[in-house]
Structure 1
């Protein structure tokens, strides 16, 4: 009973904190960073694991649909019915999985949106439970280097496109070529006050 109460308090705190952009205990993939110019930084990420799904809808609806599918997986829609918290888990058992930030969105070759939740670093493909939903898959993401531009506020497709163009211009001005399609990364739920949101556009670059 006490464990459930504590867990409820933690989840409530995380929900309220989300309104103003406070991410209570949310793990992020590790990376090394160095500034470039114009608010752009270069980040080097190591290998990581993600749960992902492909959605054939427009960008915002795809994000919502993909989020629901992946949330279903981390909230127990898996082979072990593992109890999963959106924020860092209260220590109940070793079977808890915390959602990490950001939620990633990109396009696949057929035009669908690929939505990803990155798994906490302690998990591997061998130890994660299998998704019950056939639309959700677990993938190994290789080490990658990105140019990243962070912004707040509006994260509509038009806003993301403007920021992507700004990022690509900065890269061109610095003689850096992109090495793949741009991605969108979102760190906060829809109810977060816009000016407190952390949003990013990222473009892979070659070393």
Structure 2
């Protein structure tokens, strides 16, 4: 119980949490271009209509993993952000594919504990470059889409080098943190 409270406490502030490493390649008023280092993430994929439902389902599957639901029953520290890859469905009333992920902390990067849940998997993300838009507040379905659309519009004028088939949301804070919240939209550079 104490470790669960500690984990939830660290998520509340997101201070002191390990985060993936990156270098800022360029910075504009509304976004940055970042180069992320290769890293392992623990992930869960679900198809559904609403991002909020997918994130909640994925979060708890991954939270169980870090609480020891893995082959070595190892507790893994919480990290930030919780990233969600969004692959939009073919139409307005179609399910989208959501892959919710936690960054695996440095001490487990070489050999992460394997998940017991067959639907949770270790994802080996190669290094990548992403256009990143940050915004504050409590993000909801509408604000994620609005911020993604703003980033898309900003980038249309500057580059055609972005992936159009998916995008990421990244949330750094627990729902219990009221102030100083950080959310990001990531568009992958081709």
2-structure distance, mates of 1:17, 1:103: 10
2-structure distance, mates of 1:124, 1:34: 24
Number of the residue aligned with 1:76: 68
Number of the residue aligned with 1:140: 124
Task: Give the CA RMSD over aligned residues.
Answer: 2.4
1:158 Cα offset (Å): 0.9
Question: TM-score by structure 1 length?
Answer: 0.79
The structure whose Rg is larger is: 1
Structure 1 unaligned regions, length at least 5? 85-96
Give the number of aligned pairs.
182
Residue 203 in 1 paired to residue 182 in 2? no
Q: Which has the higher strand share?
A: 2
1:176 Cα offset (Å): 4.4
Number of the residue aligned with 1:40: 31
Task: Give 1:32-111 correspondences, 5 Å limit.
Answer: 32-57=23-48, 58-82=50-74, 84=75, 97-108=76-87, 111=96
Secondary structure of the structure 1 residue equivalent to 2:185 = strand
2-structure distance, mates of 1:164, 1:47: 24
1:11 to 1, 6, 10: 6
2:20 to 29, 48, 53: 29
1:55 Cα offset (Å): 1.7
Structure 2 unaligned regions, length at least 5? 90-95
> Does the Cα contact within 8 Å between 1:38 and 1:170 map onto a contact in 2?
no
2-structure distance, mates of 1:108, 1:169: 19
Question: TM-score by structure 2 length?
Answer: 0.85
